[in-house]
Each structure stands twice: as C-alpha cells, then as structure tokens.
C-alpha cells in the first residue's frame, strides 16, 4: 500500500482519508479536537453535532471513489 493517501476530504472538524491498494479503496474517518494540552488530536468518535458532517464527508468519499473506478474502466 502507498504511504500517501489517494485523496483527503475535510468538512469542518471531520476528515475522510481515502487509501488505494491494488485498485481497492478504504476510507478512514476522524474528528479533530483540541486537547487540554492545547495540541490538536484526532479521534474516531463522533458527537451528535458531528454526525451530519461525517455523513456528508463519507458521501463525498463514495462519489470520489466511484468516479475513480469509472475512469479506470
């Protein structure tokens, strides 16, 4: 697998990272937050207010992957 993501999407504090491995894609989704030490961190947990952005980010990832798959066929 390539060490670099195929594509990244961001919507507010939500990020979707798309990875490509031999023509197959996977998606990691995370939420950024500022920890008590002042540093930014990521978590796979989402609050109620994050869910709509998470859904939209995943939908955009699905569209991006679909376009890549159609372009290669």
* Residue at 61 is within a domain: yes
pLDDT of residue 40: 97
The verdict on residue 1 lying in a domain is no
pLDDT band (50, 70, 90) for residue 71: confident
Which residue range(s) make up the domain with 34? 7-72
DSSP for 4-63, please give it.
Answer: S-SEEEEETTEEEEEEEETTEEEEEEEEEEE-TTS-EEEES---GGGHHHHHHHHHHHHH
For the stretch 32-61, pLDDT in tens is: 999 999 999 999 999 999 999 999 999 999
Mean pLDDT of the chain: 94
What is the reported pLDDT for 2?
57
Q: Tell me how many domains the chain contains.
A: 1
| 23, part of any domain | yes
Q: Is the pLDDT of residue 62 over 90?
A: yes
- Domain assignment present for 2: no
């Amino acid at each position: 697998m390539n060490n670099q993501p195929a594509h990244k999407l961001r919507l507010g504090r939500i990020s979707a990272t798309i990875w490509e491995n031999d023509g197959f894609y996977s998606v990691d989704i995370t939420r950024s937050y500022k920890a008590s030490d002042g540093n930014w961190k990521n978590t796979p947990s989402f609050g109620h207010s994050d869910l709509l952005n998470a859904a939209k980010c995943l939908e955009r990832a699905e569209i991006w992957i679909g376009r890549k798959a159609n372009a290669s066929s």
